[in-house]
C-alpha cells in the first residue's frame, strides 16, 4: 500500500508526512535518522551546509535569524543536533570552540545576538545591539552540551564560571524568561560538578514552582502569561525543561504533573501531522521552520519518556 494512504494511521506516520511535505532537508534527515533508520552521515552533510568558515553556524539554521553570519544561538542548535547523533567532538568541536572564543564577552559568556546580524533579516526579539550583553540563554546550552560530550577548551573555564553564577542568580530570585530556565537546565544537566549541579537544580526548581513560570495544569494554562517572543497561546510546560527522564528538572515534578504535560504535548499535534510553532511567524520562512523543529523535538521528547508513537 502507498505510504500516503497510511499516513493517518499513527501520530508518527502523520508527523512523517508533515516532515516530507514541509521540512528543511536537515529536519528531514534528522527525522529519518531517529525514526526510520536513516544514515548519520546524511544528518552531518545537511548540517554542514549551515557551517561558516569561522566555525560558527548561520544561514538561517535558527529560523529567527536569516543571512550568512554565524550566531551563537544557531551554533547552539548545531551542537544539539551533533549531540543527538553522537558527533559532538573532534576537529568540529575545536572549530566551534574557536568561534565561541572569538565572540565571547570578557566574562566568557556568549551574547544572544551578534551585531553582525544588522543588515540581514531577523525577528525583532532580541534586538540587535552594538554591545550585546552576556546571556545565559545562549551560553548555558552550549557549555552544557560541550561538557556532556567531554569537550574541553580554554574558553570553557570562563564560560562555565559565568553559567554557575547566572544560574545561582536565577535560583536566588532574579527575574527570568522561561527560556533562561531551559538554558539553565541544559547547563546543569551537563555540568561536570554533579553534586553542585544537583543542589543548585533543587533550589532552582523550588523557585520555578514558586514563580509559576511553567504550566503544571494544562487545563489552567490561560492563567499563565505568554513569554516575550512567543506566539499567542504558547506557554512553557514541564516537558520543555525535562526533555529526558534523566534530566535534573524531572525531579521538580510529580508523576501526575509530568503525565499531564506529556499528554498535552501529544495532543498538540495538529491535523496536518506537525506540531505548532511557538514563536511569532514574523516572516514567511520562520513559521514553517519552527514547526519542523518543534515536530522533531516533540517526537524526541515523547519517545524519551516512553511515548513512542
Question: What is the SS3 string spanning 42-62?
Answer: HHHHHHHCCECCCCCECCCCC
What pLDDT was estimated at residue 2?
A: 52
Rounded CA-CA distance 8/5 in Å is: 8
What pLDDT was estimated at residue 173?
A: 84
Q: Give the closest residue to 39 by CA, choosing from 48, 30, 50, 47.
A: 30
The whole model's pTM is what?
Answer: 0.94
169: left (phi over 0), alpha (psi -120 to 50) or beta: alpha
Contact, 39 vs 46, CB < 8 A?
A: no
Q: Phi and psi at residue 230, in whole multiples of 5°?
A: -105, 155
- How many helices and strands (H and E) does the chain possess? 12, 0
Rounded CA-CA distance 47/99 in Å is: 17
C-alpha cell at position 278:
511557538
3-state secondary structure of 65: strand
Rounded CA-CA distance 142/178 in Å is: 17
3-state secondary structure of 254: coil
3-state secondary structure of 110: strand
> Mean pLDDT for each consecutive 10-residue tract of the chain (309 residues)?
58 97 98 98 98 96 94 96 95 96 97 96 89 96 97 96 97 86 97 98 96 92 79 87 98 97 97 90 85 97 89
What pLDDT was estimated at residue 286?
A: 85
What pLDDT was estimated at residue 17?
A: 97
Considering Cα of 132, then 137, then 143, then 145, what sign does the dihedral take?
Answer: negative
Q: What angle do CA 203, 198, 76 make, to 5 degrees?
A: 95
Contacts of residues 226-231 at CB distance under 8 Å and 24 or more positions apart, as own/partner, are: 227/177, 227/178, 227/179, 228/125, 228/177, 229/123, 229/125, 229/126, 229/179, 229/279, 229/280, 230/278, 230/279, 230/280, 231/276, 231/277, 231/278, 231/279, 231/280, 231/281
Amino acid at each position: 500500500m502507498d505510504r500516503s494512504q497510511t499516513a493517518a494511521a499513527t501520530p508518527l506516520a502523520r508527523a512523517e508526512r508533515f516532515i516530507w511535505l514541509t521540512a528543511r532537508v536537515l529536519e528531514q534527515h534528522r527525522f529519518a535518522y531517529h525514526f526510520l533508520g536513516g544514515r548519520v552521515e546524511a544528518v552531518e552533510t545537511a548540517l554542514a551546509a549551515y557551517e561558516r568558515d569561522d566555525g560558527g553556524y548561520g544561514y538561517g539554521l535558527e529560523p529567527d535569524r536569516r543571512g550568512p553570519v554565524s550566531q551563537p544561538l544557531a551554533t547552539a542548535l548545531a551542537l544539539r543536533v551533533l549531540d543527538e547523533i553522537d558527533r559532538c567532538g573532534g576537529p568540529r568541536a575545536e572549530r566551534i570552540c574557536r568561534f565561541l572564543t572569538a565572540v565571547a564577552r570578557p566574562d566568557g559568556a556568549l551574547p544572544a545576538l551578534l551585531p553582525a546580524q544588522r543588515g540581514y533579516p531577523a525577528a525583532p526579539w532580541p534586538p540587535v545591539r552594538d554591545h550585546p550583553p552576556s546571556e545565559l540563554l545562549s551560553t548555558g546550552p552550549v557549555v552544557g552540551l560541550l561538557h556532556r560530550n567531554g569537550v574541553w577548551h580554554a574558553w570553557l573555564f570562563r564560560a562555565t564560571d559565568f553559567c554557575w553564577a547566572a544560574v545561582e542568580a536565577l535560583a536566588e530570585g532574579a527575574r527570568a524568561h522561561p527560556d533562561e530556565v531551559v538554558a539553565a537546565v541544559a547547563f546543569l544537566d551537563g555540568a561536570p560538578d554533579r553534586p553542585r549541579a544537583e543542589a543548585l537544580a533543587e533550589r532552582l526548581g523550588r523557585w520555578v514552582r514558586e514563580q509559576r513560570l511553567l504550566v503544571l495544569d494544562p487545563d489552567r494554562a490561560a492563567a499563565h502569561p505568554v513569554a516575550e517572543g512567543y506566539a499567542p497561546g504558547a506557554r512553557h510546560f514541564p516537558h520543555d525543561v525535562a526533555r529526558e527522564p534523566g534530566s535534573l528538572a524531572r525531579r521538580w515534578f510529580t508523576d501526575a504533573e509530568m503525565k499531564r504535560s506529556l499528554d498535552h504535548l501529544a495532543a498538540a499535534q495538529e491535523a496536518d501531522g506537525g506540531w505548532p510553532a511557538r514563536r511569532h511567524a514574523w516572516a514567511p520562512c520562520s513559521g514553517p521552520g519552527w514547526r519542523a523543529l518543534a515536530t522533531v523535538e516533540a517526537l524526541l521528547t515523547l519517545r524519551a519518556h516512553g511515548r513512542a508513537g
